[in-house]
C-alpha cells in the first residue's frame, strides 16, 4: 500500500526519518548504546584485529560510510569489500577477523556466499539486515536488525540510512566493549544520532519540493557527476547509483581528490556536478579543499550543485544551486547529505515519466550469483 504516495519510493523516502528513529529505538539507555541482540556476545569483539565489511550496491556504500565511524570509535582497521569480489581472492581471514555483512533483503546470494565462506574460514560473522529471519542473518553468529520497515521500491533508500545508523550503533558498542571509547564520548555520539530523524524531516520539509522542481528542469541531462570527500565520497557514489538505476542517465561518483588525477577531463561547459560539501565548522580543512575543487570545475564551465550545510556561505559564489542540510557532526553528515540525492534521483525519473519503483532490468533482491 503506497499510503497515498505516487510511488513506493516516494513513500520510502518520506520514511527515512522513521527508519533511523526505529533503528535507534530500544538500543539506547542513559545516554549509552545497549544492543539487546548482542547481550553475552562480547567475545565476538574481544580478540579481533580487523573488521571486514561485505555487501553489494547501496549496502556496500553504507559500509563505506560505516568504516569511518568503526575505525574512529573502535581503532580496529576496517576494510569494505564488495561481497562478490571478496571470496575469489583467497582473503586473509581467521578467528581474529569480524566479518560484518550488510543486506536489506538478507537474501542477496553474493553476500550470503561471502558470509558462508568467511565462516568456513573461522571468521566471526555479524549480519546487519532489514528482514527478520532472512537467510544471511540465520547464517551469521550475531545479528543487528535495521528497522526501516519493508522496502518495496527496487532502489534502496530508507534501508540505506537505517544501515548507516545500525553500523554507528555497532561501532559505539564495539568501542565501549573494547574500551577504545569513553562513556562521555559515546554519549556525545548518541546525542548526535538521536537528533538525525528531525534533521532529515527538516530537509524533507524545506527542500523536497524545490529539489523535485529542479530535477524536473534537469530531465534532459545526459550525464551527471557526483563528487565527495571523506564520508561524502560514498554519498557521491550512492547519488550516482540511484540516478543511473532509476533514471537511466549516465552518472558517476568520484572522490573529489581524484579530480586532477583524471576525471576533471570530463568537465566541459554545462556539465552538471553535484558536490557534497563538508561542514566548515566541523572540518575547516576538508571544507576548504572541497571548495577549491568546486572552483576548479567551475572555472571549466561545470554547473555546480552543492549539497552544503545551512549557513555555509563560502559555496555561494561558485554554486549554481545549493541544496541545504542541517548542521551535524562530521560523521553524521552522510545521513543528511544523501537525502537530497535520493529526492533528486526520484524527481528526475518521475519527470521523465519512468516507473521509479520498478526500473528496467533490476530485481529487488538478487538471489543468483
Active site residues: 364
Q: Which residues contact 308 (CB under 8 A, 6 or more apart)?
A: 277, 315, 319, 322, 323, 324, 325
Nearest to 203 by CA among 312, 19, 339, 305: 339
Q: How far is the CB of 180 from ligand F6R (least distance, A)?
A: 28
Detail the DSSP E strand segments found in the chain. 28-29, 32-33, 50-55, 78-82, 97-103, 124-129, 142-145, 223-228, 250-255, 272-276, 303-309, 321-325
56 touching ligand F6R, by CB under 6 A: yes
Q: Which stretch binds ligand F6R (CB under 6 A): 27-35, 54-62, 222-230, 318-326?
A: 54-62
Q: Which stretch binds ligand F6R (CB under 6 A): 56-64, 187-195, 200-208, 265-273?
A: 56-64
Judged by beta carbon, residue 111 or residue 283, the one nearer ligand F6R is 111
Q: Which of 81, 245, 309, 333 binds ligand F6R (CB under 6 A)?
A: 245
Q: How far is the CB of 25 from ligand F6R (least distance, A)?
A: 21
365 touching ligand F6R, by CB under 6 A: yes
- What angle, 0 to 180 degrees and rounded to 10, lies between the N-to-C axes of helices 333-351 and 16-24? 150
155 touching ligand F6R, by CB under 6 A: yes
Residue 349: CB atoms within 10 Å: 26
Judged by beta carbon, residue 44 or residue 152, the one nearer ligand F6R is 152
Judged by beta carbon, residue 59 or residue 315, the one nearer ligand F6R is 59
Q: Which stretch binds ligand F6R (CB under 6 A): 10-18, 20-28, 50-58, 225-233?
A: 50-58
Residues 175, 101: Cα–Cα separation, whole Å: 19
Judged by beta carbon, residue 207 or residue 238, the one nearer ligand F6R is 238
Q: Which of 11, 19, 57, 318 binds ligand F6R (CB under 6 A)?
A: 57
Q: Are the C-beta atoms of 232 and 278 separated by less than 8 Å?
A: yes
366 touching ligand F6R, by CB under 6 A: yes
Q: How far is the CB of 110 from ligand F6R (least distance, A)?
A: 8
Residues 193, 73: Cα–Cα separation, whole Å: 14
Q: Euclidean distance between the first and final Cα of the chain, in Å? A: 31
Pairing of strands 223-228, 250-255: parallel
Q: Which of 59, 174, 190, 302 binds ligand F6R (CB under 6 A)?
A: 59
Q: How far is the CB of 338 from ligand F6R (least distance, A)?
A: 11
93 phi/psi in degrees, rounded to 5: -140, 160
| Interface positions, 267-326, toward ligand F6R (CB under 6 A) | none
Judged by beta carbon, residue 200 or residue 241, the one nearer ligand F6R is 241
Pairing of strands 223-228, 28-29: unpaired
| Interface positions, 79-138, toward ligand F6R (CB under 6 A) | 103-105, 108, 111
- Ranked by CB distance to ligand F6R, the top (closest) residue is 57
Q: C-alpha grid cell for residue 272?
A: 552538471
Q: How far is the CB of 295 from ligand F6R (least distance, A)?
A: 32
Q: Find the length of the chain.
A: 369
Q: How far is the CB of 225 from ligand F6R (least distance, A)?
A: 19
Detail the DSSP E strand segments found in 256-310. 272-276, 303-309
Q: How far is the CB of 10 from ligand F6R (least distance, A)?
A: 15
Nearest to 73 by CA among 160, 146, 182, 165: 182
Residue 326: CB atoms within 10 Å: 19
| Interface positions, 215-244, toward ligand F6R (CB under 6 A) | 241-242
Q: Contacts with ligand F6R: how many residues (CB under 6 A)?
A: 16
Instruction: State the residues that interact with ligand F6R by CB under 6 A.
Output: 56-59, 103-105, 108, 111, 155-156, 241-242, 245, 365-366
Amino acid at each position: 500500500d503506497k499510503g497515498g504516495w505516487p510511488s513506493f519510493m516516494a513513500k520510502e523516502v518520506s520514511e527515512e526519518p522513521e527508519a533511523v528513529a526505529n533503528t535507534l529505538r530500544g538500543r539506547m539507555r542513559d545516554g549509552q548504546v545497549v544492543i539487546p541482540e548482542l547481550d553475552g556476545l562480547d567475545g565476538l569483539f574481544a580478540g579481533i584485529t580487523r573488521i571486514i565489511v561485505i555487501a553489494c550496491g547501496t549496502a556496500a556504500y553504507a559500509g563505506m560510510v560505516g568504516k569511518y565511524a568503526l575505525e574512529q570509535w573502535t581503532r580496529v582497521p576496517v576494510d569494505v569489500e564488495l561481497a562478490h569480489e571478496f571470496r575469489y581472492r583467497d582473503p586473509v581471514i581467521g578467528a581474529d577477523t569480524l566479518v560484518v555483512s550488510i543486506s536489506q533483503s538478507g537474501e542477496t546470494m553474493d553476500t550470503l556466499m561471502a558470509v558462508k565462506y568467511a565462516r568456513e574460514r573461522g571468521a566471526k560473522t555479524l549480519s546487519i539486515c532489514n528482514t527478520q529471519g532472512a537467510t544471511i542473518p540465520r547464517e551469521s553468529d550475531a545479528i543487528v536488525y535495521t528497522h526501516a520497515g519493508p522496502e518495496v521500491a527496487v532502489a534502496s533508500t530508507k534501508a540505506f540510512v537505517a544501515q548507516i545508523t545500525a553500523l554507528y550503533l555497532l561501532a559505539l558498542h564495539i568501542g565501549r566493549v573494547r574500551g577504545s571509547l569513553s562513556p562521555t564520548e559515546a554519549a556525545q555520539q548518541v546525542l548526535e544520532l538521536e537528533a538525525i530523524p528531525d534533521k532529515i524531516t527538516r530537509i524533507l520539509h524545506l527542500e523536497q519540493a524545490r529539489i523535485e522542481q529542479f530535477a524536473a528542469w534537469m530531465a534532459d541531462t545526459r550525464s551527471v557527476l557526483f563528487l565527495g570527500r571523506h564520508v561524502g565520497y560514498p554519498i557521491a557514489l550512492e547519488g550516482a547509483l540511484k540516478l543511473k538505476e532509476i533514471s537511466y542517465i549516465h552518472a558517476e561518483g568520484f572522490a573529489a581528490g581524484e579530480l586532477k588525477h583524471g576525471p576533471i577531463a570530463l568537465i566541459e561547459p554545462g556539465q552538471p556536478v553535484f558536490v557534497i560539501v563538508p561542514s566548515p565548522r566541523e572540518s575547516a580543512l576538508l571544507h576548504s579543499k572541497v571548495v577549491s575543487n568546486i572552483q576548479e570545475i567551475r572555472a571549466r564551465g561545470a554547473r555546480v550543485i552543492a549539497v552544503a550545510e545551512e549557513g555555509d556561505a563560502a559555496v555561494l559564489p561558485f554554486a549554481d544551486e545549493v541544496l541545504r542540510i542541517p548542521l551535524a557532526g562530521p560523521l553524521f553528515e552522510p545521513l543528511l547529505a544523501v537525502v537530497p540525492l535520493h529526492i533528486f534521483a526520484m524527481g528526475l525519473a518521475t519527470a521523465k515519466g519512468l516507473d521509479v519503483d520498478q526500473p528496467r532490468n533490476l530485481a529487488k533482491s538478487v538471489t543468483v550469483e
